[in-house]
Structure 1
Amino acid sequence: MEYPKGRTSPLMGSSPYSSPNIALLLRRRILSWTRETNLEPSISVRVSGKIFELHKKPLISKCGYFNKALQGSSEIELPDNFPGGSESFEMVMLFTYDYPLILDPFNVSALRCAADFLEMTEEYHHPLNLVERSDLYLNQVVFQNWDDTLIVLQKCVPLIPVSEELLIVSRCVESLAFMACMEILEPERKTNSPALSMQGLTGRNWNCEIVKERAGQDLWIKDLIALPFEFFKQIIGSLRRQGMREKYVGPIIMFYANKWVLSKKTHKFWEETSEENGIENANTKVSTIFEGIIDLLPVEEKAGMAIPVAFYFALLSRSLSLKLSKDSKIMIHEKVVSVLHLARDADFLLPEKGNKSGSVGSCLEVETMERIVKMYVVGKRKNGCQGQTLLCDMSVVADLWDRYILQIASDPSLGFERFVQLIEVIPAVERETHDHLYAAITTYLLEHSGLSREEKSSLCNYLECRKLSQETCVHAVQNNQMPLRLIMQALFLQQLHTHQTVKDCSGSFRYVQASELAITGTLTPNSASPYDGCPPSTSLSNKEYDSASFRIQTLEKEIMSLKKSLQCENSTKVPSFRVSGLDGSSGMRRRKPLGQVRGCIGLGSMSWGSQRRCAGRILKLFRRIAMLGKGKGKGKGMMK
């Protein structure tokens, strides 16, 4: 398709054969026929309230309808649904009076429908009757040109259902779809269509104006999205039947929805142009198109590849303000669920400012997101999906949900029970990391200082120190909002990290020294220590290494001693407790509720001051170990 420079939409034009000109030409032709035949008009035809005085012979010679109707009466009134009304009847009468009527895209559809109604076929006029002439013009002229086809399709709107029964609409649709496919397959545009490329739209928040500008970069797309939805829907179906790939079809649907559903300007225009009940009429129009768009969207794995995920969340947000059917709401939720693992936390719906629900926990946006995440979790389990893909997708969705909870945790209106419900939307086993959940709980505790000690502890029971990163563990140890049990777990987890770091450092040190000596050939069974003779500037001496090892052992003994003292204190105060030691010994311990994180040391019987003093001593020991690890790391760097 080639478009003239500065071309505007073909739907904005009009036929050069206006109604006053046609009426004037018809009157002149009737007068001329009267003079030629010396016969006065004897037939009266009423069309759309307008009366035409005509001659009988031209009517019965070319119109089967009048041939039958004029056998018993000279006055005829055409029905109100006559195609095209009085204007198309005037053009048809010019044809019956043998006037050289010129067809164009603006009048051919009305003439074709009127000719069919009046039975202007070869049975009454041969060789070229109005039906054949109109079809010939449509096939040889209109359907070979993009603009002409668009004009004819638009002119078919007031002629429905006759234009559909005569297949004018379907032929226009197939023609437009074919030319659109050829536009995509054109070699120089095959991979560089500016509008259909999703570059610049993926991974960004939805912006109607940016998408509108993108749609306007290809004029043929701009023409398609200007059509009434019923025609647009048929064109999309034809594009898919003719083999257009989904990565091209999806963006066209997206552009149409952006114009007629998501754009606030369009909604406002409909409100202002409605004669009465502007808001209600506008909502009805948008809802009708919205429900149709849902049916056109790609399904399953094609959904996220053809259209940006932000578009689905924009539709979801728009659906909250419309009165959609129950089935339509379920369908849009399922569409969002199918691309949930591809979303960003910025795509999730946040409560609007000044929401009327009074509580962020009960607002429509949060409830909708909660329902969708639950549908995702249930769907994954129900389908019996297994393997690495499922684990990856579930961990991604779990992380997104924790980030979402973090964004609303600071709202003062979010109640304790509601916050717990939001946490439990994702099962604990599905969370690969608890870093964002920890941040959400910390934020909630800071903003809700009135919580009881039991409520704080129950919230922290959802955290597992093993799923916290090392940086988060360090923060948890110093976080006064956390209960002491969680702090102790984080402390001992840090102990394991530090011990492993020092162990790895020592192992690496020995490996490097052995490798160097083996290469130089100085390492023999009877040789001296491998550390002898090493330059002090490049390695640690044997004596320094032994000193470092001794310090590590001393620190570990201090930790053992401290834990044993804690065990003794607990066992004397509460015999029913059991404490796990570093040596693997264990005793009785109190049963905790299901889902509660188990602590490494039972501290329930100690006073608050004793607990803090013990924690302080352990923290100092771990800092000394960490400093030692850093020192050995430097030694390793010197060796290299």
Structure 2
Amino acid sequence: MDSASTKAISPFASPNTGALLKKKIIAWSLETGLPASIHVSVGGKIFSLHKLPLVSKSGYFKRKLVDLSSVELPENFPGGSETFEMVALFCYNSSFPFDPFNIGALRCASKILEMTGDFSLCERTDLYINQVVLQSWDDTLIVLQKCQTLLPWAEELLIVSRCVESLAFMACMEILDPEHKKDWPVTSLQALTGHNWSSELVKEMAGRDLWIKDLIALPFVFFQRIISSLRRQGMKEKYVSPLVVFYANKWVLSEKTHKFWENSDLKDEYNDVNSRISEILQGILELLPMGEKGSRVIPASFYFSLLSRSMSLKVSNESNIKLQNEIASLLHLAQVEDFLLPEKSVDFITSTPEFEAMKKIVMINMAAKNEEGYVVAELWDRYLCQIAMDPKLEPARFMELIEIIPMADRETHDHLYKALDTYLMEHPQLSSEEKTSVCKYLNCQKLSQDICIEAVQNEQMPLRLIVQALFVQQLHTHQAFKECSDSFRYIHCGEFSGSLSSSRCQIPRSQNLEESPFERATNIGPPLGSFLQKDSSTKRSDFSKEDYESTSFRLQALEQELVSIKQSLMKNVPKGTDSMSFRVIGLEGKTVVKKRKSLRHVNSCISLSWASQRKYASRILKILRKINMLGNGKSKIKKAASGVSSTSLACEGKPLQQMYNS
């Protein structure tokens, strides 16, 4: 509370005290016949008083007025002239009311003026503090706030300590709620788990309990001591830590508070505001629980916000390192939206302090070899999707960033594929060799079925990776068909309804890319053409029992057809050559790079309606036929609707299977 507000509500500013003191002085002069010959100067105001009332109640005046008739009190006299008016009234045996606004200053003033003894001002003010103030939450808060201007006397007289301990005790009782006065649970940070940091949301949460709102309004020097007292008195950390977070949100993270301090009279220069916030931030770090204890009660998003603020204020490097280590320990609990990113106006993202901090955090986490490394790997790959947009990011640098996470820690490469796709799209000037080098980390066997289909269709990717994705997708299809075929052998037609409950057909671990399903197809079934020409709109009810029983043979026929296509392709390789490679060349000799739209979602579950499976099989056949025709040099690719020039595939090098295996 500022000084202007204090004058507005404090009884010190009331003219009644001054008027009453004048009446007492006049009455004493008339009663004793002695003039007011002692002059006391305090706070720029001079009081003319009688000697006997002063020396009878104050040891200080008793010593000073032996040879002097005027006394000047210390410039920082507690409460200034308003408090001394009340002290003078007490010396003239005039009663006046104590209240939380004046009791602290009166207690400090009585100490300085040595007003001790029975029924002295010291004794009476102490009694009021213990029996009245410390029994009330609001009165204790008022006295503690007034103590800001009463230091160091308020500390020496234990006024601050008594108020702090009283508030902490009453806060504990508020949490325990022995009288069951509350109809709602105590505010916690559980609602913030899994969400981005929002200062407005946290502010709203802090305002739900008035006692929390009161505590976080205190100066940090007092708030810090209350938190220590709460822990000392046994309050659980899940109730203490939210108070620290709420305080940091109000005084460190809130832009409104920053702007208020900039425009207020409490600062001399802008840098003073930053210094004040930096001081509070470093104090907050001392109050926060660290390690596993803190991760259970404080959301990771808060630490990221605090680190971002710390870097913008240029707080000491020691504080930043402490925050980075804490974030690294709970990185698996974070979201990619929490990760630090520089301002959008920055051109070279990887040269910013924010990116360097994130890189260091991930490296610390990797060095710790946590069990949750796969979570951090996925977060880092998703973060790279945003970093890949940097137009100045060189391929070698991007490859270094990918290598920060060991490839073995990546359970899925879906997000890595998206990062590579974004990088290739934002850097169309890359050569085919650079594309191949950047994409060498991608393992198509760790792609989900949808992403694998997208990779097959993505002309930005190197052709070698497209062929790998094609074979992996065939493995997915073979596995799905095998599961479907097995299901018909054990399930009666009348009892079967719906599709297989599988959201993703995994490739058996024992099966690698070198074991192509083409080479394991031995059964001969009906021609694939007759299977694909069947009406795609046929319903399940139209299938006879014989149709169900012959499904497995038809599926095997699909594999046989693919085998024949492969053999036809291999026969077209010119004699004397032992390798075949492909290049995508425009009609004008320029490489064509085009972003393809990803296919609509293809569910890997196999249903009784074979329309979706026939469409998917037809898509694979079209791709292989296209390669075959282009290998013969006889195909002509139609122009795209967007006006992009058509492309052709030239065969030069080793066979398809050998190229894939390499």
Q: Does the 8 Å contact 2:463/2:582 carry over to 1?
A: no
Separation (CA, whole Å) in 2 of partners of 1:609 and 1:242:
73
Summarize the Cα distance change of 1:564–1:132 in structure 2 as closer, same or farther, 3 Å threshold. same
Separation (CA, whole Å) in 2 of partners of 1:42 and 1:292:
52
Which residue number in structure 1 is paired with residue 110 of structure 2?
A: 115
| Other structure's SS at 1:109 match | helix
Which residue number in structure 1 is paired with residue 503 of structure 2?
A: none
Which residue number in structure 2 is paired with residue 551 of structure 1?
A: 557
Summarize the Cα distance change of 1:136–1:542 in structure 2 as closer, same or farther, 3 Å threshold. closer
Separation (CA, whole Å) in 2 of partners of 1:76 and 1:627:
94
After TM superposition, the structure 1 stretch with the greater mean CA deviation from structure 2, 24-33 or 112-121, is 24-33
1:318 matched to 2:313? The reply is no
Summarize the Cα distance change of 1:32–1:609 in structure 2 as closer, same or farther, 3 Å threshold. closer
Separation (CA, whole Å) in 2 of partners of 1:628 and 1:32:
102
Match of 1:296 among 287, 292, 314: 287
Summarize the Cα distance change of 1:296–1:547 in structure 2 as closer, same or farther, 3 Å threshold. closer
Match of 1:99 among 94, 100, 113: 94
Deviations 1:318-356 (A, max 9, x none): 22320211111112223322332112222222332223x
Kindly provide the amino acid, as one letter, of the partner of residue 360 in structure 2.
R
| Other structure's SS at 1:217 match | coil
Match of 2:232 among 241, 249, 259: 241
1:371 matched to 2:350? The reply is no
Q: Does the 8 Å contact 2:12/2:82 carry over to 1?
A: no
Which residue number in structure 1 is paired with residue 174 of structure 2?
A: 183
Which residue number in structure 1 is paired with residue 184 of structure 2?
A: 192
Kindly provide the amino acid, as one letter, of the partner of residue 192 in structure 1.
W
The alpha-carbon deviation at position 15 of structure 1 amounts to 2.9
1:225 matched to 2:212? The reply is no
Deviations 1:485-544 (A, max 9, x none): 222222222232233333333333334479x9xxxxxxxxxxxxxxxxxx9966447983
Match of 1:335 among 326, 336, 339: 326
The alpha-carbon deviation at position 438 of structure 1 amounts to 0.2
The alpha-carbon deviation at position 442 of structure 1 amounts to 0.8
The alpha-carbon deviation at position 229 of structure 1 amounts to 1.1
Which residue number in structure 2 is paired with residue 43 of structure 1?
A: 38
Separation (CA, whole Å) in 2 of partners of 1:496 and 1:114:
88
Q: Does the 8 Å contact 1:271/1:281 carry over to 2?
A: no
Separation (CA, whole Å) in 2 of partners of 1:304 and 1:538:
60
Separation (CA, whole Å) in 2 of partners of 1:502 and 1:215:
57
The alpha-carbon deviation at position 203 of structure 1 amounts to 3.3
1:417 matched to 2:402? The reply is no
Match of 2:257 among 250, 253, 266: 266
| Other structure's SS at 1:320 match | helix
Summarize the Cα distance change of 1:55–1:271 in structure 2 as closer, same or farther, 3 Å threshold. same
Which residue number in structure 2 is paired with residue 174 of structure 1?
A: 165
Match of 1:407 among 386, 393, 398: 386
Match of 1:497 among 470, 476, 494: 476
Summarize the Cα distance change of 1:164–1:241 in structure 2 as closer, same or farther, 3 Å threshold. same
Summarize the Cα distance change of 1:562–1:62 in structure 2 as closer, same or farther, 3 Å threshold. farther
Q: Does the 8 Å contact 2:488/2:549 carry over to 1?
A: no
Give 1:614-629 correspondences, 5 Å limit. Answer: none
Q: TM-score by structure 1 length?
A: 0.77
Q: Does the 8 Å contact 2:382/2:416 carry over to 1?
A: yes
Q: TM-score by structure 2 length?
A: 0.75
Q: Does the 8 Å contact 1:116/1:131 carry over to 2?
A: yes
Summarize the Cα distance change of 1:234–1:73 in structure 2 as closer, same or farther, 3 Å threshold. same
Which residue number in structure 1 is paired with residue 49 of structure 2?
A: 54
Summarize the Cα distance change of 1:459–1:56 in structure 2 as closer, same or farther, 3 Å threshold. same
| Other structure's SS at 1:451 match | coil
Size of the aligned set, in residue pairs, is: 546
Summarize the Cα distance change of 1:550–1:286 in structure 2 as closer, same or farther, 3 Å threshold. closer
RMSD after superposition: 3.4
Separation (CA, whole Å) in 2 of partners of 1:564 and 1:421:
38
Separation (CA, whole Å) in 2 of partners of 1:56 and 1:633:
110
| Other structure's SS at 2:54 match | helix
Q: Does the 8 Å contact 1:59/1:67 carry over to 2?
A: yes
Give 1:201-600 correspondences, 5 Å limit. Answer: 201-274=192-265, 278-355=269-346, 358-378=347-367, 380-381=368-369, 385=370, 390=371, 393-512=372-491, 539-540=545-546, 544=550, 547-548=553-554, 551=557, 554-555=560-561, 557-558=563-564, 561=567, 573=577
Summarize the Cα distance change of 1:494–1:75 in structure 2 as closer, same or farther, 3 Å threshold. same
The alpha-carbon deviation at position 553 of structure 1 amounts to 6.3
Separation (CA, whole Å) in 1 of partners of 2:26 and 2:453:
102
After TM superposition, the structure 1 stretch with the greater mean CA deviation from structure 2, 488-497 or 132-141, is 488-497
The alpha-carbon deviation at position 17 of structure 1 amounts to 4.4
Q: Does the 8 Å contact 2:39/2:71 carry over to 1?
A: yes
Kindly provide the amino acid, as one letter, of the partner of residue 97 in structure 1.
Y
Q: Does the 8 Å contact 1:11/1:150 carry over to 2?
A: no
After TM superposition, the structure 1 stretch with the greater mean CA deviation from structure 2, 276-285 or 219-228, is 276-285
Summarize the Cα distance change of 1:201–1:13 in structure 2 as closer, same or farther, 3 Å threshold. farther
Which residue number in structure 2 is paired with residue 86 of structure 1?
A: 81
Q: Does the 8 Å contact 1:410/1:447 carry over to 2?
A: yes
Unmatched segments (≥5 aa) in structure 2: 496-540, 586-601, 614-662
Separation (CA, whole Å) in 2 of partners of 1:609 and 1:121:
99
Which residue number in structure 1 is paired with residue 598 of structure 2?
A: none
The alpha-carbon deviation at position 630 of structure 1 amounts to 6.1
Q: Does the 8 Å contact 2:488/2:548 carry over to 1?
A: no
| Other structure's SS at 2:195 match | coil
Q: Does the 8 Å contact 2:7/2:13 carry over to 1?
A: no
The alpha-carbon deviation at position 316 of structure 1 amounts to 2.2
| Other structure's SS at 1:106 match | coil
1:14 matched to 2:9? The reply is yes
Kindly provide the amino acid, as one letter, of the partner of residue 21 in structure 1.
N
The alpha-carbon deviation at position 248 of structure 1 amounts to 2.0
Kindly provide the amino acid, as one letter, of the partner of residue 416 in structure 2.
L
Summarize the Cα distance change of 1:186–1:487 in structure 2 as closer, same or farther, 3 Å threshold. same
Deviations 1:355-402 (A, max 9, x none): 3xx312223332222222222222x23xxx5xxxx1xx2111111111
Summarize the Cα distance change of 1:82–1:13 in structure 2 as closer, same or farther, 3 Å threshold. closer
1:161 matched to 2:152? The reply is yes
Kindly provide the amino acid, as one letter, of the partner of residue 554 in structure 1.
Q
Separation (CA, whole Å) in 1 of partners of 2:605 and 2:133:
82
| Other structure's SS at 2:290 match | coil
Q: Does the 8 Å contact 2:39/2:49 carry over to 1?
A: yes
After TM superposition, the structure 1 stretch with the greater mean CA deviation from structure 2, 243-252 or 449-458, is 243-252
Kindly provide the amino acid, as one letter, of the partner of residue 434 in structure 1.
H
Summarize the Cα distance change of 1:222–1:409 in structure 2 as closer, same or farther, 3 Å threshold. same
| Other structure's SS at 1:21 match | helix
After TM superposition, the structure 1 stretch with the greater mean CA deviation from structure 2, 427-436 or 336-345, is 336-345
Separation (CA, whole Å) in 1 of partners of 2:157 and 2:214:
24
Separation (CA, whole Å) in 2 of partners of 1:569 and 1:629:
41
